[in-house]
Structure 1
Amino acid sequence: MDISAVELARAQFAFTVSFHIIFPAFTIGLASYLAVLEGLWLWSGRDVYMRAYKYWLGIFAIVFGMGVVSGIVLTYQFGTNWSVFAEKTGAVIGPLMGYEVLTAFFLEAGFLGIMLFGMKKVGRKLHFAATVIVACGTALSAFWILAVNSWMQTPAGYAFNEAGQFIAEDWFDVVFNPSFPYRLVHMVLAAYLTTAFVVAGVSACHLLRNKKDEVARLMFSMAMWLILVVAPLQIMAGDMHGLNTLEHQPTKVAAMEGNFETRSGAPLILFGWPDVEKGETLYAIEIPKLSSMILTHSWDGEVPGLNDVPKEDWPPVAIVFFSFRIMVGIGSLMLLAGLWGLWARWRGGLPQARVLQRFSVMMAPAGFIAILAGWVTTEVGRQPYTVYGLLRTSESIAPVEAPAVAASLLVFIVLYTIIFGLGIYYVLRKMAKPPELAKGPKLGEPIRSAGITPAASLSPKEEN
């Protein structure tokens, strides 16, 4: 079977962005976690917080570097495989991506050096400020990138020039388009959950080996508290995002739900097999009227079906249907983990909860899987458009030949597997080292034993 250049270009972008997205998702949450750890160290003076900070700082630097490198490739693809898309939308998305570099990336890159190497060269307050700025930079990066993606999903504030190109008519409406607030909250919470489960899994692994590891106990406890708080918030944010999607992208929701016919009092299809040819979801396991209740907050609310639009405007239904269920299923397990952690504290303490620790180790990659599943749901569900309802994917492709795209895709697969495979392996090796071995300066410790500058050895009242 011949594969078209459009399909190959989509596969190439999907492959590279799937590698890229896991790194920023981790660094957004990990940067905030580092800021919290250093803030608690300054506030309490407890050495255990700085030891945890040092443990994750090196990991953060490596993951941040891989995120930068993997992201550069994506911008080149706009000029090679998707030059028509870039030519038509560049006046809108180009400035937004430029703002991401000029603001977020400059903050991250400019202050990352102080984070990594400044502990012995600057005062505690300045070093903490650098950590906070890097954390803000990662969040700001998410702001701009999601503004671009959200505009492609729910375009607003635009007009067309004489050449048929998109131009910005109102930048506020472009950035704060109808789906942007929901996507931003949903993604940032997903990043925090991803980091929380990595921290929980790594610390649980070390607690299973040595339940007296003070740093591992601290990290596991903090991660479980975060999961308990953020998992329910993410479910609420996901529900609000779903309602927004129903309003602006009903066809995507129909594919997510596996609904082919518009129905009032529609059931929630838990599992099944969407058959596009027959126009029905086979072997469906349903809960009566629950889909209407979730999507319209009414037992008899009307839920749209795919048959309301022509078949050529349908997304790949099966992919959207199953990726959505993977995301929701993992989200349910995350909520279970948070509640389990609360129950374990009440029953006698997290260090003794060996089964929970084993479960946390298995759940360590859950956030990454959920983010990838959510990304597939969002982006594949937008098809057959690059700019929803306005610019088709088939009209966005550059004049490239399928063999050339296939060759570059093969090169990407080989290089990414080797380079990022080795990078991930190195990160896992660092995670395998016991946190109890991490060392960090103590507040008020003599300069020689702490190895820090006089500015860092002053008490909070003495430091400028």
Structure 2
Amino acid sequence: MFDGFDAVVLARIQFAFTMAFHILFPALSIGLGSYLAVLEGLWLVTGREAYMRLFRYWVRIFAVAFGMGVVSGIVMSYQFGTNWSAFSDRAGPVIGPLMGYEVLTAFFMEAGFLGIMLFGIGRVPKLVHFAATLLVAAGALISAFWILVVNSWMQTPQGHAINEFGQFVPEDWLAIIFNPSMPYRLVHMVIATYLATAFVVAAVAAFHLLRGRASPEVRTMFSMAMWMAALVAPIQIVAGDLHGLNTLEHQPAKVAAMEGHFEAEVTGAPLYLFGWPDAEAETTRYALAVPKLGSLILTHELDGRLNGLKHWPKEDWPNLPYVFWGFRVMVGIGFLMLATGLVSLYLRWQHTLFAAPRFHRWCLVMGPSGLVAIIAGWITTEVGRQPFTVYGLLRTVDSVSPIAAPAVGASLLAFVAVYFVVFGAGIWYLLRLFSTPPEIAVEEEIRGPERAAGITPVQATHGVD
């Protein structure tokens, strides 16, 4: 069936498909982990019951997202052996220990304290439970740290040597871990998870507000989400700009692809708002450009010089439309988030934040926007690194396993079928959880296992001393 297909292309499609599913759930886990820690901390400080009810509501959603993230992550690791064994052999001495550190320092911490966080309310002292929540949130952030260390080293490799077998072997672990792009990539990604989570929370709250369910819990989570949008979206834009400048320094060909520049711009590069980069014709067609704005953004000078794609061999160019449009989707959503936050500040000033149905509908539409932006940013980053797996040192065609295209294609079809069934059901269940008002969901939960265990609703809500 797949005779005549390229095994490398099929392996890349399979990895992209499974990664696009996987990245959604850790993003929610990272954001929700910190959100749960904030909710429980506010409850301990203020004693407001609404915070604990929101904690109990969102902790169930966190558990589902965490479970689906673990399952989809296991599939990712198998592909390193089945489809990318040459990459694993060449880069394993560097990335293997880093992935091991992620399991030892992050996953074990999350898994070890997750049970207390999920089932310890009313069964352990309040501060013990809060400590478990903090450790789960910290584990999610530490996991993001190590995964981004691996990815950043593949983008900007340093601190290694190459032995006689062509393997990358570590020489300086600090240089490997704190490679040039890691700090920018880490900050940009963590903020992205917080914003993505905030807009999911806002969409859930907006859904209930549109149905006249303006309970204290719904109002509180909508208000908190809008504060996140208003305060953090501008920070993300600044972090993205700094990340872009770092990319220009270390991966200038990627930036040229993102901007759609083929020729060197010596008197100021335009910013192409829209267009279609044509690698064959070596031009960006149908371009809508703002003169000199590209140089101003990237070099902070109107006449700043920028190299075009023709500066590098054509065989080193990435797939231009994916990089070009992935970048624009990510940036466009970022500015829509900023606009949403600014409008929320105005409505808050007007005391109509909870009585603005058109704005609530907009927030409902924006619910998945943060997750879409994360996928678009990942496409920009990873496709922009092509045709290399380790940038400038190891090509993708030299990283694939010696496996026939039909075998890769068959496993790809199997993944597509299983993923849409399993994770489709998981996402459907999440949507059902979202549609239940927080106060009703929590009351139903309290009436269940806690009463069976002899714990009163008051204990279940407030915990034991």
CA distance, structure 1, for counterparts of residue 455 and residue 186 of structure 2: 44
- Which residue is 1:178 aligned to? 180
CA distance, structure 2, for counterparts of residue 250 and residue 232 of structure 1: 25
* From 7, 10, 14, the counterpart of 2:9: 7
Give the SS at the match of 2:354: helix
* From 168, 177, 198, the counterpart of 2:170: 168
Q: Contact (CA 8 Å) 1:263, 1:302: kept in 2 or not?
A: yes
How big is the alpha-carbon RMSD for the aligned residues of Structure 1 and Structure 2?
1.5
* From 338, 355, 378, the counterpart of 2:341: 338
- Note the C-alpha offset of 1:438: 4.0
CA distance, structure 1, for counterparts of residue 214 and residue 271 of structure 2: 46
1:21-420, aligned counterparts within 5 Å?
21-264=23-266, 265-420=268-423
Which runs of no fewer than 5 residues in structure 1 stay unpaired? 459-464
Which moves more between the two structures, 355-364 or 209-218? 209-218
CA distance, structure 2, for counterparts of residue 228 and residue 20 of structure 1: 28
Q: Contact (CA 8 Å) 1:214, 1:436: kept in 2 or not?
A: no
- Note the C-alpha offset of 1:319: 1.0
CA distance, structure 2, for counterparts of residue 372 and residue 123 of structure 1: 40
- Note the C-alpha offset of 1:151: 0.1
Q: Contact (CA 8 Å) 1:211, 1:217: kept in 2 or not?
A: no
- Note the C-alpha offset of 1:192: 0.1
What amino acid is aligned across from residue 224 of structure 1 in structure 2? M
- Note the C-alpha offset of 1:393: 0.2
Q: Say yes or no: does 1:426 pair with 2:434.
A: no
What amino acid is aligned across from residue 56 of structure 1 in structure 2? W
- Which residue is 1:18 aligned to? 20
Residue deviations 1:67-101 (CA, integer Å, cap 9, x gap):
00000011110011000000000000000000000
Which moves more between the two structures, 210-219 or 187-196? 210-219
CA distance, structure 1, for counterparts of residue 164 and residue 102 of structure 2: 28
CA distance, structure 1, for counterparts of residue 221 and residue 463 of structure 2: 25
Q: Contact (CA 8 Å) 2:122, 2:455: kept in 1 or not?
A: no
CA distance, structure 1, for counterparts of residue 438 and residue 204 of structure 2: 9
CA distance, structure 2, for counterparts of residue 456 and residue 25 of structure 1: 29
Provide the TM-score with structure 2 as the length reference: 0.95
What amino acid is aligned across from residue 396 of structure 1 in structure 2? S
CA distance, structure 1, for counterparts of residue 350 and residue 43 of structure 2: 29
CA distance, structure 2, for counterparts of residue 456 and residue 342 of structure 1: 35
Give the SS at the match of 1:352: coil
- Note the C-alpha offset of 1:390: 0.1
CA distance, structure 1, for counterparts of residue 289 and residue 439 of structure 2: 49
What amino acid is aligned across from residue 350 of structure 1 in structure 2? L
* Shift >6 Å, 4+ stretches: none
Q: Contact (CA 8 Å) 1:320, 1:381: kept in 2 or not?
A: yes
Give the SS at the match of 2:197: helix
Q: Contact (CA 8 Å) 1:51, 1:438: kept in 2 or not?
A: no
Q: Contact (CA 8 Å) 1:146, 1:183: kept in 2 or not?
A: yes
CA distance, structure 2, for counterparts of residue 5 and residue 144 of structure 1: 29
Structure 1 pair 83/338, CA: closer, same or farther in 2 (3 Å)?
same
CA distance, structure 1, for counterparts of residue 106 and residue 146 of structure 2: 9
What amino acid is aligned across from residue 348 of structure 2 in structure 1? R
Which runs of no fewer than 5 residues in structure 2 stay unpaired? 447-453
- Note the C-alpha offset of 1:350: 1.1
- Note the C-alpha offset of 1:348: 2.0
What amino acid is aligned across from residue 216 of structure 1 in structure 2? V
Residue deviations 1:200-223 (CA, integer Å, cap 9, x gap):
000011011125321110000000
Q: Contact (CA 8 Å) 2:199, 2:367: kept in 1 or not?
A: yes
What amino acid is aligned across from residue 12 of structure 1 in structure 2? Q
What amino acid is aligned across from residue 377 of structure 2 in structure 1? G
Give the SS at the match of 2:442: coil
Give the SS at the match of 1:64: helix
- Which residue is 1:462 aligned to? none
Which moves more between the two structures, 206-215 or 235-244? 206-215
- Note the C-alpha offset of 1:448: 3.6
What amino acid is aligned across from residue 354 of structure 1 in structure 2? P
Pairs aligned (count): 453
Q: Contact (CA 8 Å) 1:211, 1:351: kept in 2 or not?
A: no
Q: Contact (CA 8 Å) 2:208, 2:214: kept in 1 or not?
A: no
- Note the C-alpha offset of 1:457: 3.6
Q: Contact (CA 8 Å) 1:52, 1:438: kept in 2 or not?
A: no
Q: Contact (CA 8 Å) 1:260, 1:279: kept in 2 or not?
A: yes
Structure 1 pair 44/447, CA: closer, same or farther in 2 (3 Å)?
farther
What amino acid is aligned across from residue 411 of structure 2 in structure 1? S
CA distance, structure 2, for counterparts of residue 447 and residue 425 of structure 1: 31
Structure 1 pair 447/15, CA: closer, same or farther in 2 (3 Å)?
closer
Taking only the aligned residue pairs, the percentage that are identical comes to 62
What amino acid is aligned across from residue 459 of structure 2 in structure 1? G
- Which residue is 1:461 aligned to? none
Structure 1 pair 433/456, CA: closer, same or farther in 2 (3 Å)?
closer
- Note the C-alpha offset of 1:452: 4.6
Provide the TM-score with structure 1 as the length reference: 0.96
